[in-house]
Structures are given as C-alpha cells and as structure tokens.
Amino acid sequence: MKKHYFFYETLIFFTIFTLFVCPSIFQNRTETDTFSEWPFPLIQIIYFAFSMFLFFCQIVNNEAEFHFVKLSSITKKNIFITFFSFFALILISLTFQFLGIIADYKANQVNLNYPYNIQQKLFCLLTFAFTAGFEEIVFRYILPESMQHIIKSKNNEKYKIISCEIITAILFGLCHNYLGLLAVLNGVCAHFIFRLCYKKTGNLLFNCSIHFLYNVTNVFICSI
C-alpha cells in the first residue's frame, strides 16, 4: 500500500473510532432515555452524512467500486440472504431475551415510550433509518476494511482478516453496553450476521434495510 493510502486509511479509522465508537463505549448510564422521546433526528442525520463522507473518501482512496447501491445486486439470491439474515437476527435477539428471563438478569432500564402520533412515528422511523445507515457504513464497511488495510500481515492474511472481524464485532457490541451485558453479546452476534450479509450480497443497502426492520421490530417487541 502506498504511504498516502496508508495515511488516509489510518486517518479515517481513528476519526471514526474517536468521534463515534469511543463515546458510545464509555458512556456509563444505569438508566437511559434514548427511546423516551422521538424528536427530529438531527444528530442521526449528521452522523449519517459524515459517515457517508468518510465512506466516499475511503472508496476514492482505495479506488474501489461504489457498492452502497448496486441495482444489479438485487437478485432473488440476495433477497433470500437478506430475509434469512433478518430472521436470524430476530432469533438471536429473542434467544438472549429468553436467557435473560431464565437467569433473572436485570438489564439496564430503558424508558421506552411508543410513538403515539403521526409526527413521532415518522421521527421514530427516520431515527432508525439514519441510525441503521450510519452503523452499517461504520461497522460493516469502514472499520473492518480500514483495519485490514492498516495491519500489515503478508504471511497471515487469513488470521488478520479474522482478527479484524472479531475486533469490529466486539466494538459494535460494546457500543450497546448502556443496555447491559446481554445487549453487548447480542450486538457481537448481530455484527457477524450483518457482516456476512454484506459480504454475500456486496450491497450495504440490504444491510441498512434489515437493520432498520430489526430495530423497528425490537421496539414493537419491547412495547408489548
């Protein structure tokens, strides 16, 4: 890798890690009001816009193909993979919730208020949409791909890739630590499902779609 490529990859990685990953990991709240109100998702839009900017920078830097929306990838096979991934995510989520009930696990309390009018429902959907887009760009593309480019290992390429995937999964899980240990473990498992979906379809749009549906479904489950 040329020096300026390595510099840009390193800069993008540490920008994402410093601005977005660290604040989420080190927040320490026993109770969160993240889902208690549904205002206009300005922060989520800013995060998504900035992640898209870094996404394009990384593509230009690596002279890679733009693979956020490829209409040619909308095939029956990829649609099946997407639906399979979605149901796998729901199954994993329900499994951890069931384990929590069996173990009488006391998760961090979340003030979840179901959106009650059209405006709140719209803002709720927009929040989940931009959050899904931001997280998929950051955790399913930028972080793992950047790490693989930064770490030099010609003799152990396979182990380098596996290590980068595991590190990214752990980081994604830790970003949900404000919800408790089971949420962290669920996040780690979910990352591998999302990442596998992306690697199989080659299109982040599929990931964003199932991530959005997954978040919305969880709100309905939690509101029951």
Host domain of residue 104 = 3-64+74-223
Asked if residue 34 is part of any domain, the answer here is yes
Residue 69 inside a domain? The answer is: no
Pairing of β 31-32 and β 109-110 = parallel
CA dihedral (184, 186, 188, 194) positive or negative: negative
Q: For 23-78, what is each residue's pLDDT tens digit?
A: 887 776 544 555 667 889 999 999 999 999 888 887 776 655 555 556 677 889 99
User: Which pLDDT belongs to residue 31?
Assistant: 47
Q: Is the pTM of the predicted complex or chain greater than 0.85?
A: yes
Q: 8 is written with which tokens?
A: 């840009």
Helix, coil or strand: residue 32 = strand
Residue 152 lies in a domain: yes
Residue 48 covered by a domain: yes
**Which pLDDT band holds residue 83 (cuts at 50, 70, 90)?**
very high
HSE (side-chain half, CA atoms, 13 Å) at 161: 9
* Mean pLDDT to the nearest integer, 137-159: 83
The answer to whether position 179 is within a domain reads yes
Report d(CA 74, CA 125) in Å as an integer.
23
CA distance 168 to 191: 8
* pLDDT tens digits, 152-183: 766 677 888 899 999 999 999 999 888 888 98
The tally of domains found in the chain comes to 1
Let me know if residue 136 belongs to a domain.
yes
Instruction: Quote the distance between the C-alpha of residue 182 and its chain's center.
Output: 17
CA gap 115, 36 in Å, rounded: 9
State the helix-helix crossing angle for 204-223 and 181-201, rounded to 10 degrees.
Answer: 150
Summarised one tens digit per residue, pLDDT across range 85-131 is 999 999 999 999 888 888 777 665 566 677 788 888 899 899 999 99
Q: Is 60 exposed, middle or buried (0-12, 13-18, 19+ CB in 10 A)?
A: exposed
**Token digits for 36?**
């208690």
Please state the rounded mean pLDDT for residues 4-8.
Answer: 71
Are 61 and 166 contacting, i.e. CB atoms less than 8 angstroms apart? no
Does residue 109 fall inside a structural domain? yes
Q: Determine the Cα–Cα distance for residues 208 and 173; give it in Å rounded to an integer.
A: 17
Confidence band of 19 (pLDDT split at 50, 70, 90): confident
174 burial level (CB within 10 Å; 0-12, 13-18, 19+): middle
- Cα–Cα distances (Å) from 165 to 128, 142, 195, in that order, read 24, 12, 9
Has residue 186 got a pLDDT over 90? Answer: yes
